[in-house]
Structures are given as structure tokens and as C-alpha cells.
Amino acid sequence: MDKGNALLVGVGGSGKSSLTRLAAFAAGCEVFEIKLSRGYSEPQFREDLKILYNKLGMENKKVVFMFGDQHVAEEGFLELINNILTTGMVPVLFADEEREGTVGNIRDEAMKNGASPAKESIWKYFITKCSVNLHVVLCMSPTGDTLRTRCRNFPGKIFLNKIVKSIMSYVYPSRIRASLRVAKP
């Protein structure tokens, strides 16, 4: 499914990663997951995202980007994920020289597929191609208030209002019932 993403909610050890890998295999997708190390921060995360985007746009690979609670070394990572889900690209991910190189490398392909020769048109083609090939799977734990807070702070993580309601009723059933009682006249 083009631009298909998923939010898997379950406690640790419930099979979120295994399910993601199985589904990716069945769909013929490669799984991309960041490898945290000591001192891993936003600059390293951005470099990993560049690798991901080159796989998507330059190598034309269908990729599942699996990102879980354990990958959140900094909350700023979630802002970047939010951008990926809402716009298809992380702002200012590529330096001007890198962007020029990418545009030069895919110019012929983009023009064969209807893009104009303008750099912005070719860059838009690259971003669209990446968006079509990318599937983000967020693996989150329902324990504590972390999931609720992250969903509120980074709304791009939530693809449909129905999913929010399902998560909230699963994670916080008593709060949903109490809110409905208060809301009734």
C-alpha cells in the first residue's frame, strides 16, 4: 500500500517488531531501523535518515522504517518522524550540495516520468518517490502516560481520528468512560 503506515501498541515482548518484520517480508519490503550507540543524537539520526531517503529515492527500494520507544534517544527525534508522516520529508535534511547531487542523479528518470527540467520539480519528484516507497511503523508501549503525551505533542503520528479513539479506549478505558459521563448534559 503506497504511503501506508502503522502504529503498533503493545507492551514490551508482545511481538510488535516480529510482526513488523513478517509484514515487511510478505510485502517485499526491506526493514530499516536505527542503531543507537553511546552519544547518538539528532545529527546522527539525520545522517541515518539521509541513508533511508537515498534507499527510497535513489535505489527505489520499498522500505519499512521501524521506530519504537527504544529509539527515542531525544524527544526531537519524534519531531522529525512527525515531519516525515505529515509532509513526506524532514526539513533541511539535505545540504544544498547534497540536494543538487540528488537532483542531478535522478533528472533523467524524473523527466521520463513527466517532471519538468526545473530543479524544484525534480526535487518534488524525489520526495514523492520517497513517500510512495516509505512505510513508517511506530512501535509504542501503552504503559504510563508517554504514548498519550507523544500523540498529543506529535499529531502526525496519528493517521486517523479513529486510531486515536481506539488507542485511548484501549490504554485509558476508565478515562474515556469518565469523560463521556462528564460530557453528557
pTM > 0.85: yes or no: no
Cell 485509558, residue?
A: 172
Instruction: Note the pLDDT of residue 162.
Output: 38
Could you tell me if 24 and 64 are in contact, meaning their C-beta atoms sit under 8 angstroms apart?
yes
Rounded CA-CA distance 8/23 in Å is: 12
Instruction: Note the pLDDT of residue 182.
Output: 55
- Give the CA count within 13 Å in the CB-facing half-sphere of 79: 7
* Residue of 151, 104, 146, 97 whose CA lies nearest to 125: 104
- Report, at the CATH architecture level, how domain 6-183 is classified: 3-Layer(aba) Sandwich (3.40)
Instruction: Note the pLDDT of residue 32.
Output: 97
Amino acid identity for residue 95 in this structure: A
Domain ranges of the chain: 6-183
- Return averaged pLDDT per consecutive 10 residues of the chain, 185 residues in all: 76 86 92 93 95 95 92 87 85 93 94 93 94 90 76 59 44 53 53
Instruction: Note the pLDDT of residue 87.
Output: 83
